[in-house]
A = this chain, B = another copy of it.
Amino acid sequence: MVERRRPDTLFWVDPASVGSDRLKLSPEESHHLLHVHRAKAGTPFQAIDGEGSYFECVLESTERRAAIGRIVGRREGVGELARTIVALVGLPASGDVEQVVAHGVPLGVSAFDFVVCERSGRGALKAQRLSRLGRIARAGLKQSLRTRLPEIRSSGSLGEALRHLPSGLRFAADPEGGEPAMALVRSSEDPVTLAVGPPGGFASEERRLLQAEHFSVISLGPSRLTTETAALALISLARNSLR
């Protein structure tokens, strides 16, 4: 039998299409595997279900343009951090929201909430926009070899966003924030929730709300960062150094 080279990419599989020893790709993913990567019966490929499962497969057959793979290996949590990272980001302009998702997914964020703040100057993201962000997140997940798809929400207010947070560490970045982030290195794999203000920053009532909910208000340094740069910096710290 000819040795078939495994495509260096992950394919997406709906959890409902995974059986005990076989899985079936969607028509779109099948097209990608069969026509872009020219896979034939016997070609190995890798799939993720967005819920933390990673599958090593071998292409077995195609059935009405859907690729059927035999599952030869299965692992949980591949590419995932030990900690949960929730990012509350004061709603900025649309292009900036997309950048936060595009970089934040590979960096390991578990949930994004683009929160309408007093200074956001716009309403919550609608279904169509959220579904576009979902596509960016899926692409980022595949490209970064993660396996668990982050949730993406858009709360109508900070109060609403604060209602359903995990326990654990909480940090809010604020230009007037007290101690610099570098002072906050601790030893823990606790979940961490991050909050970054919208363009113009959190309003004073919002700052009070964050403090009441036990967020440590920290400074990211001497220069002024945009919402999206601050979000990416804080996510990077949560990924690699805030403990």
* Chain A interface residues toward B at CB < 8 A: 78-81, 99, 103, 106-108, 143-146, 180-182, 185, 220-226, 228-229, 232-234, 236-237, 239-243
Contacts and interface: CB of A to CB of B under 8 A. Distances in A.
Nearest to A230: B106
A2 B223 CA distance: 31
Nearest to A105: B223
Contacts of A106: 223-226, 229
B222 A81 contact: yes
A17 B220 CA distance: 33
11 contacts: A81-B222, A103-B232, A106-B224, A106-B229, A107-B223, A108-B223, A182-B241, A185-B185, A185-B241, A232-B236, A236-B237
A123 to B, nearest CB: 25
Contacts of A144: 223-226
A233 B79 contact: no
Main secondary structure of the interface of A (DSSP, over half): loop
A222 B180 CA distance: 27
A240 B240 contact: no
Contacts of A78: 222
Contacts of A243: 182
Q: Which 5 A-B pairs have the closest CB atoms?
A: A236-B236, A233-B236, A241-B241, A144-B223, A79-B223
Given A80-B222, A180-B240, 6 more contacts: A103-B229, A106-B226, A221-B240, A233-B236, A233-B240, A237-B237
Nearest to A240: B181
A143 B144 CA distance: 31
Nearest to A218: B240
Q: Which of A80, A143, A181, A233 has the most CB of B within 10 A?
A: A233
A85 to B, nearest CB: 11
A210 B18 CA distance: 44
A222 B182 contact: no
